[in-house]
Amino acid sequence: MTLALFLQHLANALSLGSLYALIAIGYTMVYGILRLINFAHGDVFMLGAYLAFYAVATFLLPWWAAFLLAILVTALFGVVLERVAYRPLRDSPRISVMISAIGASFLIENVGIVVFGGRPKGVQVPDVMNVRLGLGGVSVMSVSVVIPVLTFAVLAILLWVVHRTKTGMAMRAVSTDLDAARLQAIDVNRIISFTFGAGSLLAAVGGIMWSYKYPQLNPLMGTMPGLKCFIAAVIGGIGSIWGAVLGGFLLGGIELLTLAFLPTLTGYRDAFAFVLLIVVLLVKPSGLLGGRHVEKV
Amino acid sequence: MRSFGLVLGAVALVSLGACQKKSSAPTTVKIGVFEPMTGANAAGGAMEVEGIKLANEMFPTVKVGDKELKIELVISDNKSDKVEAANAAQRLVDQDKVAAVLGSWGSSLSMAAGPIVKDKKVPAVALSATNPLVTKGNEYYFRVCFIDPFQGTVMANYAFKELKAKKAVIIREVSNDYSVGLARFFSDSFKKLTGDEGAILSELNYNTNDQDFTAQLTTAKSMNPDVIFAPGNYTESALLIKQARELGITAPFLGGDTWETPEFMDVGKQAVEGAVFSTFFATEVPITETSKTFLDAYRKQYNKEPAAVTALGFDGYLVVRAAIEKAGSLDGPKVRDALAATQRFPGAAGHITFDQNRDATKSAVIKVVKGGKFTYLTTVQP
């Protein structure tokens, strides 16, 4: 394998990994605050991508306006989803909330099939995302450069919010002990709504970036990325924002580099992610950067 | 609450009884439409259903003995999934008690229904499923299209004679029997034509629903092939070709009949320009009188050009209808025998005669994507 070829494989891996990382951050954030694995995250991701598509295709908005509109509407949707499907179950056993999340996931997927149709749609990728950049023998699209930048920007903003603002302090308090936080006059409902809104906004950003990189939409498009990014979050240590980023890059890297060096194993591609999950859970159940306590779900 | 449940149960029982009484004197014939309406293959299923529905609107009845029966289409979504496909087929033969089954788009899905229709002796007609195994050893499965050994040879010939290609890379959708089969027939034929055992530089794989092909394509690029043969589902193929162009691969892409969907163009956009594939029928070259009837009716109703598989959907319906009429019965084995005896039936996509393997022998057309349209290149005789 020549150096240029290796660098191309590495560029592919970084580009996919940063996308995984971007989506995994949303998963990990909701889990970090609520100890809830939001299985509908992948479907919120799908919704964001479709909203941006229709804003451009039907309402003829420029792509950046469509992008902003779609992420805001999706954030609002996340808040409503929490209010309807999760809040009434907050005092029930955790398994009930998880089952409710699975139900919400199937509901969104199937309503999606009815509303958007089962046939895939092609996305018009904005010109600035669709420029081919070549350096030596390595060739990447501009969207693959935008995504890692966006991932690290989101990471920085999120770390700032969680560690430097009052809302962030309240989030950490809710995460540590919900009842004690309430006794400190923290509006727990507002904080949880905020968390869900932010998590869904991140899912929408991920969904739209995904649709710019792989310009095809279908109502079940969130399932596999949702699972993979959940795995990325668990590998990194679910609840840890840095862990999600690390997990995303690791997963993308392992997936693509294994394919690059062992092309005969391509049929087992999705299995890599799950094998990695099992190994991490056996060796270090709290994930690479996770806290010490282990939560049973 | 409980008494309410009892009342509901009683109502259900009574209505069930009423239903059974009604069905003892049939006034309709049910034909099962076994197609993917959702999932990865939804676009293909939708195009075949368009053809079946059009035929049903034009020829809504069938004469069985001296009675004119109305044909009712029962559409069952196999969800582009092999397991769901078996369930959908079971539902059609057990619950809906259809007289015959049409479909499915996708050889793997049709193969999932194979044992079920064979077991219940319900004749089935595949429309565009080209893998030989769909009909092989299953005397109840027919098809109105050619099979992959022919299609693979056609594309290998095109690569060798028209493109003067000496070295090829194959990229297969490894979870799809259609793609794997077609790739093998192409490979055999291409090696024979070039007289070079090493003419296929590599066979790379991907899975249905994959979206990132950069690892495989980077490997393919390093081998510098003259041509890339990549039969597979339309969305995956369109994304694959797009990513290939983004990586700077300039070799032409060849594929099979599954590429002819609007989604292939919609997802691939400028990137799929120049992609060449074989298919069943071109609207530019009508073959029979039925072709003209079909084209006129389709254009009038949908105001666009039909895909090849839509014509096959139309043909499948007509062949089954003719067989039921000839058998004079809705009995599975009798309809099967009538189907098997079909000789030069004038369908929209050419004459249909089933050989001993219940496959139709037909010519193939080659199309190219040009200016955002599927354009007719040439016809290849078997």
Confidence class for position B33, pLDDT limits 50, 70, 90: very high
What pLDDT, on a 0 to 100 scale, did the predictor assign at position A34?
82
Rounded-to-integer distance, Cα B47 and Cα B106, Å: 13
Q: Where are the domains of chain B?
A: 27-146+287-363, 149-279
Name B278's Cβ contacts closer than 8 Å, sequence gap at least 6: B151, B154, B155, B158, B256, B257, B364, B365, B366, B367, B380
Contact of B301 with B319, CB cutoff 8 Å: no
User: Which run of H or of E encompasses B185?
Assistant: helix B177-194
B27-146+287-363 CATH fold: Rossmann fold (3.40.50)
Contact of A186 with A245, CB cutoff 8 Å: no
CATH class of the domain comprising A3-283: mainly alpha
Residues of B in contact with A15 (CB under 8 A): 214
Judging by beta carbons within 10 Å of its beta carbon (0-12, 13-18, 19+), is residue B204 exposed, middle or buried? buried
What pLDDT, on a 0 to 100 scale, did the predictor assign at position B176?
87
Which of B212, B221, B241 is most worth mutating to test chain A (most A CB atoms within 10 A of its CB)? B212
Give B207 to chain A, closest Cα distance, Å.
6
Which structure tokens are listed for B207?
Answer: 């899975």
Residue A267 contacts B, CB cutoff 8 Å: yes
Q: Range with the lowest mean pLDDT among A29-33, A250-254, B24-28, B321-325?
A: B24-28
Residue A136 contacts B, CB cutoff 8 Å: no
Rounded-to-integer distance, Cα A82 and Cα B325, Å: 59
What pLDDT, on a 0 to 100 scale, did the predictor assign at position A32?
84
How much is the average pLDDT of A159-183?
90
pLDDT averaged over chain B? 89
Rounded-to-integer distance, Cα A179 and Cα A201, Å: 27
Contact of A259 with A266, CB cutoff 8 Å: yes
Pairing of strands B364-370, B276-279: antiparallel
Contact of B127 with B105, CB cutoff 8 Å: yes
Is A295's pLDDT higher than 60? no
Judging by beta carbons within 10 Å of its beta carbon (0-12, 13-18, 19+), is residue B47 exposed, middle or buried? buried
Contacts 24+ apart (CB under 8 A), A102-110: A102/A39, A104/A39, A104/A40, A104/A43, A105/A39, A105/A40, A105/A42, A105/A43, A108/A40, A108/A43, A108/A44, A108/A46, A108/A47, A109/A43, A109/A46, A109/A219, A109/A220, A109/A222, A109/A223, A110/A219
For the stretch A81-133, pLDDT in tens is 999 999 999 888 888 999 999 999 999 999 999 999 888 899 999 988 888 88
SS3 B364: strand
Say whether A215 and B211 touch across the interface (CB within 8 A). Answer: no
How much is the average pLDDT of B317-346?
92
Rounded-to-integer distance, Cα A133 and Cα B241, Å: 18
Is B15's pLDDT higher than 60? no
Name B300's Cβ contacts closer than 8 Å, sequence gap at least 6: none
How much is the average pLDDT of B208-212?
88
Is A294's pLDDT higher than 60? no
Whole-number CA gyration radius for chain B: 22
Percent of chain A with pLDDT over 70: 97
Residue A169 contacts B, CB cutoff 8 Å: no
Percent of chain B with pLDDT over 90: 70
- Residue B267 has its nearest CB partner, among A8, A120, A255, at A120
Rounded-to-integer distance, Cα A227 and Cα A193, Å: 23
Peptide bond into B104 cis (omega under 30): yes
What pLDDT, on a 0 to 100 scale, did the predictor assign at position A80?
96
What pLDDT, on a 0 to 100 scale, did the predictor assign at position A293?
52
Residues of A in contact with B210 (CB under 8 A): 269
Burial B151-177 (b: 16+ CB within 10 A, else e): bbbbbbbbbbeeeebebbbbbbbbbbb
Find the farthest-apart pair of alpha carbons in chain B and give their distance in angstroms, rounded.
79
Q: Please count the CA atoms within 13 angstroms of the CA of B201 that sit on its side-chain side.
A: 17
- Residue B212 has its nearest CB partner, among A16, A119, A140, at A16
Closest CA to A229 of A39, A66, A36: A39
Give B206 to chain A, closest Cα distance, Å.
6
**φ/ψ of residue B212, rounded to 5:** -115, 120
What pLDDT, on a 0 to 100 scale, did the predictor assign at position A292?
53
Is A42's pLDDT higher than 90? yes
Say whether B266 and A121 touch across the interface (CB within 8 A). Answer: yes
Give B382 to chain A, closest Cα distance, Å.
33
Burial B229-241 (b: 16+ CB within 10 A, else e): bbbbbbbbbbbbb
In chain A, whose CA is at the least distance from the CA of B44? A119
Residue A228 contacts B, CB cutoff 8 Å: no
In this predicted complex, what is the ipTM? Answer: 0.89
Contact of B30 with B99, CB cutoff 8 Å: yes
Say whether B235 and A218 touch across the interface (CB within 8 A). Answer: yes
How many beta-carbon pairs below 8 A join chains A and B? 100
Rounded-to-integer distance, Cα A218 and Cα B40, Å: 8
CATH class of the domain comprising B149-279: alpha beta
Residue B270 contacts A, CB cutoff 8 Å: no
Burial A210-221 (b: 16+ CB within 10 A, else e): bbbbbbbbbbbb
Say whether A260 and B204 touch across the interface (CB within 8 A). Answer: no
Tell me the β-bridge partners of A98: none
For the stretch A125-168, pLDDT in tens is 998 888 888 887 788 899 999 999 999 999 999 999 999 999 99
What pLDDT, on a 0 to 100 scale, did the predictor assign at position B38?
87
Amino acid at B60: P
Residues of A in contact with B42 (CB under 8 A): 117-120, 218
Closest CA to B178 of B201, B149, B137: B149
Say whether A260 and B215 touch across the interface (CB within 8 A). Answer: yes
Residue B248 contacts A, CB cutoff 8 Å: yes
For the stretch A191-219, pLDDT in tens is 999 999 999 999 999 999 999 999 999 99
Is B322's pLDDT higher than 60? yes
Residue A279 CA to chain centroid, in angstroms?
A: 22
**Residue listed under structure tokens 């299953």:** B138
Q: Where are the domains of chain A?
A: 3-283
Confidence class for position B27, pLDDT limits 50, 70, 90: confident
Amino acid at B252: P
Residues of A in contact with B205 (CB under 8 A): 263, 266-267
Say whether B214 and A12 touch across the interface (CB within 8 A). Answer: yes
For the stretch B185-202, pLDDT in tens is 999 999 999 998 899 999
How much is the average pLDDT of A33-44?
89
Say whether A9 and B204 touch across the interface (CB within 8 A). Answer: no
Residues of B in contact with A267 (CB under 8 A): 174-175, 205, 207
CA angle A258–A260–A263, rounded 5-degree value: 85
Strand positions, DSSP E, chain B: 28-35, 61-64, 67-77, 100-102, 124-126, 141-143, 168-173, 200-206, 227-229, 253-255, 276-279, 345-347, 350-352, 364-370, 373-380
pLDDT averaged over chain A? 90
What number of residues does chain A have? 297
Residues of B in contact with A18 (CB under 8 A): none
Confidence class for position B18, pLDDT limits 50, 70, 90: very low
Q: Is the dihedral of CA B223, B227, B229, B233 positive or negative?
A: positive
How much is the average pLDDT of B120-144?
93
Task: Record the pTM.
Answer: 0.87
Tell me the β-bridge partners of B142: B125
Residue B340 contacts A, CB cutoff 8 Å: no
Give A270 to chain B, closest Cα distance, Å.
9
Give A112 to chain B, closest Cα distance, Å.
11
